[in-house]
Amino acid sequence: MHAGTTDGSQALTRRGIPVDEDLRVLALGSFANRFGAGAVMTTSALFFTRKVGFSATEVALAMSMAAIVGIVVQVPAGHLGDTRGPREVLTRCMVGAALFSAPPAFARSPWVLALLLGVLALFERSAGAVNQGVIAQLATGGRAVLFKAYLRAVTNTALGLGAVFGGLALVVDETWAYVAVFVLNALFTGFAAWNTTRLPHLPPYRRGAGEPRLAVLRDWPYVVIVVITGLFSLHFFVMELGLALYISERTEAPTVMVSVLLVLNTAMVALFQVRMSRRADSVEAGAKALVRGSLWIAAGFAIIALADRGSWWLAVGFLIAGSLVHVVGEMIGSGGQWGLQMGLAPHERQGQYQGFAGLGFSVMAVIGPPIVTFFCVDQGERGWLMLAGIMVAVSLVSVPAAKWALASRERYGVTTHSG
């Protein structure tokens, strides 16, 4: 039996550490990579506007251009990993990400910043797509969803700790401190790149005669599932952007609640994500988890909607209660998304399929901000209730869509996860 396989009876972790050696390597690399990212995310916008002198619009435009690059490269990168060797391609992409993590700190023109962030996104998004395929191939035996849940807890913890380090740079508020954050990210990414060399070699996939190069684009049932999971991911942007704007524009709650609720969410995910994902380890179970998660999310939105009705302490109470209810749905729904996305993908083409699955979230990152601003701020309480209805409706569609996709698997030669 391969080191990454399991018969389903072995525990995923022991004392919080994956039992399987390959999964430990993946977890360590994810922690290192996201620790540096957390530090940069905390400081980059303020550094470029306050120290370099770019306008907020220039920084936002550069980041948007990089996001577009990320959308374009995900599927081809996943396919390249499948056909050229997942581990080898992942290592090269991570090395590229490490080399281009620090240079953006030295950009003194908005266009140079956009170019450097675009190159960085090329390597980071490519690595992300290939890495998702590696995870799906190594976390076998019905453990893919649980290990994704474990990784989410790990990465949330790493982002939080990295944000603390970035916060130190904000306190110092000197150019050298901000640049040090970018250098730190490069060093941690370099470690993560080296760490990938410890993964086992995974044989490349050989396309059959007449088989399309990007078969996922012709797998319409899978395309529909990705559209559904992409729409479902709207709730992440509601809580990351819409909630912050809602607090500052429509409620009496102090703006510090934005940080309080972020820490609360991070802690809950780190503690309970694995437990909340245990019943989503197959396609059918994934669709049902999406529905259960949407009901919790909708309830959370409905509670948050009441935060604009009273004094600051009442608003704070509704915000905390709604956020706690929402994060339960977030964790359950995330398991459902993973169960659908990985369970419907062919094992030997997981890189291509998971790269495509990531497009749902990436596209939502582009179109989501104006959508959540309209509903959460412009519409206020009514908008939050409308969003609640949208989340439930999207999840309900996933049930018949999942059955249709499963029925079509024989046509596309896909073996689904049995859980």
pLDDT in tens, 146-200: 898 999 899 988 988 888 888 888 888 899 999 999 999 999 999 999 999 999 9
pLDDT at position 9 is 43
- Give the C-alpha separation, 335 to 151, whole Å: 12
Structure tokens at 93: 């992409």
- Average per-residue pLDDT for the chain: 88
- The tally of domains found in the chain comes to 2
Q: Are residues 182 and 310 in the same domain?
A: no
Give dist(CA 3, CA 323) in Å, integer: 39
Residue 68 included in any domain = yes
Name the least confident of 282-296, 352-366, 387-401. 352-366
Whether 333 is covered by a domain: the verdict is: yes
- Note whether residue 378 is domain-resident: yes
Q: Is residue 385 part of a domain?
A: yes
pLDDT digits (tens, 9 = 90+) for 289-346: 999 999 999 999 999 999 998 899 999 999 999 999 999 999 999 999 999 998 888 8
pLDDT of residue 82: 86
Judge if 386 and 285 occupy the same domain.
yes
Joined tokens for residue 2 = 């391969």
Q: Is 346 helix (H, G, I), strand (E, B) or coil?
A: coil
For the chain, what percent of residues have pLDDT higher than 90? 50
Q: Would you state the pLDDT for residue 4? A: 37
DSSP three-state, residue 90: helix
Query: Tell me, what amino acid is at 383?
Result: G
130-156 burial: b if 16+ Cβ within 10 Å, else e:
bbbbbbbbbbbbbbbbbbbbbbbbbbb
One domain for residues 68 and 119: yes
For the segment 268-296, the average pLDDT, to the nearest whole number, is 90
| Beta carbons within 10 angstroms of residue 311's beta carbon | 11
Phi, psi values for residue 254, rounded to 5° = -65, 145
In angstroms, the CA 318 to CA 132 distance is: 37
397 contacts: CB under 8 Å, gap ≥ 6: 228
**Bridge partners (DSSP) listed for residue 13:** 18
Residue 375 contacts residue 234 (beta carbons within 8 Å): no
DSSP for 194-213?
HHHTTSPP-PPPPPPTT--T
pLDDT-based confidence at 7, cuts 50/70/90?
Answer: very low
**Do residues 36 and 73 both lie within one domain?**
yes
Q: Express each pLDDT in 196-217 by its tens digit.
A: 999 999 888 776 655 666 778 8
Tell me whether residue 377 is in a domain: yes
Residue 27's domain comprises: 22-143+157-196
DSSP characters for 390-405?
Answer: HHHHHHHHHHHHHHHH
Same domain for 370 and 221, yes or no, is yes
Tens-digit pLDDT profile for residues 218-251: 889 999 999 999 999 999 989 888 898 898 889 9
Whether 130 shows a pLDDT value over 50: the answer reads yes
Q: Give 85's DSSP letter.
A: -
Q: How confident is the model at residue 2 (pLDDT cuts 50, 70, 90)?
A: very low
* Same domain, residue pair 187 and 225: no
- Pinpoint the alpha helices (H) of 52-143: 56-84, 86-99, 110-138
CA distance 282 to 266: 26
Q: Output the DSSP codes for 301-341.
A: HHHHGGGGSS-HHHHHHHHHHHHHHHHHHHHHHHHHHHHHH
The answer, as to whether pTM is greater than 0.75, is yes
Q: Where are the beta strands (DSSP E) in 206-323?
A: none
Residue of 71, 64, 127, 68 whose CA lies nearest to 359: 71
Distance (Å) of CA 236 to CA 149, 300, 362, 364, 392: 16, 13, 12, 10, 15
In sequence order, the 6+-apart residues with CB closer than 8 A to the CB of 223 are: 216, 217, 356
| Residue 301 maps to a domain | yes
Q: Of 165, 196, 227, which one is at a domain's C-terminal end? A: 196
In Å, how far from its chain's centre is CA 70?
13
Q: Are residues 94 and 232 both part of a single domain?
A: no
CATH of the domain at 219: 1.20.1250.20
pLDDT of residue 410: 62
5: in domain:
no
Model confidence pLDDT, tens digit, residues 111-121: 999 999 999 99
Is residue 86 domain-shared with residue 190, that is, in the same domain?
yes
Amino acid making up residue 347: H
Q: Are residues 224 and 116 in the same domain?
A: no
Query: Do 47 and 136 reside in the same domain of the chain?
Result: yes
> Do residues 403 and 225 lie in contact, with contact meaning Cβ atoms separated by under 8 Å?
no
Residue 314's pLDDT is 95
Residue 59 pLDDT: 86
Distance of CA 121 to the CA centre of its chain: 15
Question: Is residue 132 domain-shared with residue 249, that is, in the same domain?
Answer: no
Last residue in a domain, options 131, 165, 196: 196
181 and 292 inside one domain:
no
Residue 206 lies inside a defined structural domain of this protein = no
